[in-house]
Amino acid sequence: MLWQWQALTGGQRKGLFTALTVLVLGVVVAYFALRSVLPNLPLNAPLPDVALGPVLLVQAFFFTLMLSAAVRASLVTLFTRGDLDLLLQSPLPPRVVLASRALGVALSAALPAGLLVVPLTLALLVLGVWRGGLGLTVWWLSAALLASSAGLWLTLGLVRVLGVRGTRTAASVLGALFGAGLFLATQWANFSGGRGRGQGSNAVFEALSTFAPGQAGWPGREAWLWLPARAVWLEPLPLLILVALSLAVFAVSVLALTLQFTSGVQEMAAPEGRVRHPRTPAGRLRFASGSRATLLKEWRLIGRDPELLSRTLLQLVYLLPLLFSVTRGGGLRAAGGTGVVLLTASLTAALAHLTLNAEDAPDLLVSAPRSPAALRRDKWLAAVIPTTLIGLVALTVLALRGALGTSHTLFLLPLLLLGTGGTALMVLWQPLPVRRADAFKSNRRTPFINTVLTLLFQGGLSATAFAASSGAVWGLVTLAAALIALGVAYSMRRSDVR
């Protein structure tokens, strides 16, 4: 547990304690400001039926975050660290080893939801809502045990189907989807076209108001469906059932995993988690040559990068509501092309940093039978081609839905190509060599001038796209500013020799 806490917090423990101290002081100030009103409010009354639905949905959202974190922690605990087989051969009982590892997974699962649950719990307790504060704490710990158990089993199933590398990628993608789930739920009216039928942005709230016991066909308050929501308000029987269920599931999972690991620990501790058989019979190897080999190599490495895939998926998720909303209402139509140009340029910057800067074996490239200029060109193309295709698909969707005029589309296409190609060139001209594993770490220092030039270039092109979509002449000024930023970056170009 101590090792897991150190791995989770790292050097950020001081910041966590500082944030907690500020939160406590803020809650105490709020208590003294509201203490004249609080005694008159029924803060500890039973939770009304109309609140059970929203509380249950919030609990489900928190649990999905915890489950995603549990899958990632289980993957590290069972396969990546590579010391489980050694521990199972130690004098410690295998059950103790796996139980401690499962508790570490539960701690990792509790952390994402804890960033919101712990402040809310402190606020409820200080303000005198003891039923909500204590019940939320017990539910949080019980949900962490359930997420840990489910994460262990889900990880084992994914590893057997996808392998360790595929499971790591799937866990990152699921985490991105869970993180964007709340945002997509708020945009449901745009997807369903509710605004056109007069429902508007209140469609989500109307659906929540009918998600309650005895309404719209939902079962009554005593049904099992509402048990977690009732337990969070410290109702005795639901709380007892939840705690007993979480402890039982956790204990059964540890016992079952102990039997499974002691019988086949060597197979499960293999680097890929399973024995891979060749799909084709042994024969003469075939290698791609020239630019095709470099492009395939870069794209395969991109597909194996969970961090980049999660970032890419989040950007695409935030692009979806824009594509739906710009077709409803003339005021937003000019923003369609703007969003496409900005998001594709931003995504190209991440891809170019990975293809051009994050190279773990530069010596092999130097000794390759290709010129450095050809390699740089191919790596530049590996970042530009995928994002350009995404932008073309988005612009095509907007054009087919009538969100872009045909005359404006002719201006947006060059801006899309300039945004993706120019952003990748700015990364090429200002190389920052880094290990691929450290490509997206927050402590990576980018020169301030690089950041300013990139923002000016992408912002200028986005403003130009907005002007082109709305037929404004001032877009020529922002286009000139973007080209000047690109020219300054070219004049400051440096060599990529390491």
Q: Residue 495: how many CB atoms within 10 A of its CB?
A: 8
- Pick from 320, 314, 308, 390: which is nearest to 351 by CA? 308
| Confidence at 497, pLDDT banded by 50, 70, 90 | very low
Q: Among 176-185, 355-364, 373-382, 437-446, name the most confident range.
A: 373-382
Range picked from 167-171, 325-329, 426-430 for highest mean pLDDT: 426-430
Outline where 232-289 has alpha helix (H): 236-268
Per the listing, tokens 């923002």 go with 455
Tell me which residue has tokens 């962490």.
Answer: 144
Percentage of the chain exceeding pLDDT 70: 67
Q: What is the pLDDT of residue 484?
A: 93
Q: Pick from 450, 452, 448, 422: which is nearest to 352 by CA?
A: 422
pLDDT at 413: 87
- Local structure of 326: helix, strand or coil: coil
Query: How confident is the model over 355-390, as pLDDT tens digits?
Result: 888 777 777 777 777 788 888 888 899 889 998 998
Please state, for a pLDDT cut of 90, what percent of the chain lies above it: 10
What are the helix (H) ranges across 269-333?
290-303, 306-325
This model's pTM is above 0.95: no
Spatial CB neighbours of 439, under 8 Å, sequence gap ≥ 6: 305, 307, 308, 353, 354, 357, 358
Q: State the alpha helices, DSSP H only, in 276-305.
A: 290-303
pLDDT in tens, 243-270: 999 999 999 998 888 776 665 454 444 4
Q: CA 364, 366, 370, 371: dihedral to nearest 10 degrees?
A: 160
For all residues of the chain together, what is the average pLDDT? Answer: 75
* Interhelix angle 334-352/448-470, nearest 10 degrees: 150
CA separation for the pair 293, 378 (Å, rounded)? 9
pLDDT at 495: 59
Distance from C-alpha of 300 to C-alpha of 306, rounded to nearest angstrom: 12
Instruction: Please state, in angstroms and rounded to a whole number, the distance separating the CA atoms of residues 233 and 252.
Output: 27
Determine contact, residues 353/387, Cβ cutoff 8 Å: no
Is the pLDDT at 46 greater than 60, yes or no?
Answer: yes
Predicted pLDDT of residue 111: 82
Class of residue 395 by CB neighbours under 10 A (exposed 0-12, middle 13-18, buried 19+): buried
Tell me the residue type at 293.
Answer: A
Of 213-217, 258-262, 326-330, the poorest mean pLDDT is in 326-330
Tell me: the pLDDT tens digits for 63-79? 888 888 888 788 777 77
